[in-house]
Structure 1
């Protein structure tokens, strides 16, 4: 049975989940927000709403550079000083300006997982991930992990996402926040 958050746990700024696709940032984020009685925001959904286009359409029409600029602006707007849980896209924390903003205005939490877990999870999704189009997901994830994990490690909180119910990851985050 999931534990309730510590009564002494005080969240005074946004909690921003970072990590590779498939770590469960959105799913875990929703559950974490529920447990903490905070709003949940998925940055990718906010980007799509602001642009009136899907992430894939933004990449196709404008390219990654323009997508990242819009992503940074949306994340800056979301980091308004009010506590909430924000799930970011896998590449958001890789952008120096976006990363600096998150580290300065929020508590960054790196959700990490084994390659097998990530490959299985991204395989459940349709073709909505631009970086996986026409490529072997395991190969792409291994390449991304090699480049991105050292940057994700700059997040002050590191939690492993296990092949367990998402509540186990939420419990791990709550424990890390209480420390």
Structure 2
């Protein structure tokens, strides 16, 4: 059995795509997953499974959500080892920053630096980002809601063809903890 986190994009935000966490847990248990727990209302579920891989589990859950709730939700599934490696590889001094200043965007597939070549990084300073293989680390000193760089990253063609969902540093760390149990 492997422990995973499911990251759901854009649920329970602004009264749209309401997805009660208790119903999500029951739905996931109905798919044969064990130890299903949710974290916050913003779309994180931790579970164990002995079947499938990250991509098939994400597709299965997205399909089940659409059938049960009547709307589509992008889902990314990652195992504990990946989540732990992402937290450990943070290129910014996470221990010195407030959680609202540091974020990780998880991508459904690897992304290369060419996607980000058109960004004038100096124009957004002191905001910065660093790219991993399937993740992007964002330092936004005034928070995500005021970040011009985050806005540009979200609205640009950079994300074309991949699912992208962002979590603050507290959630990144909590998912590592929850998937380790």
With normalisation by structure 2, the TM-score equals: 0.28
With normalisation by structure 1, the TM-score equals: 0.28
Which has more helix, going by share of residues? 1
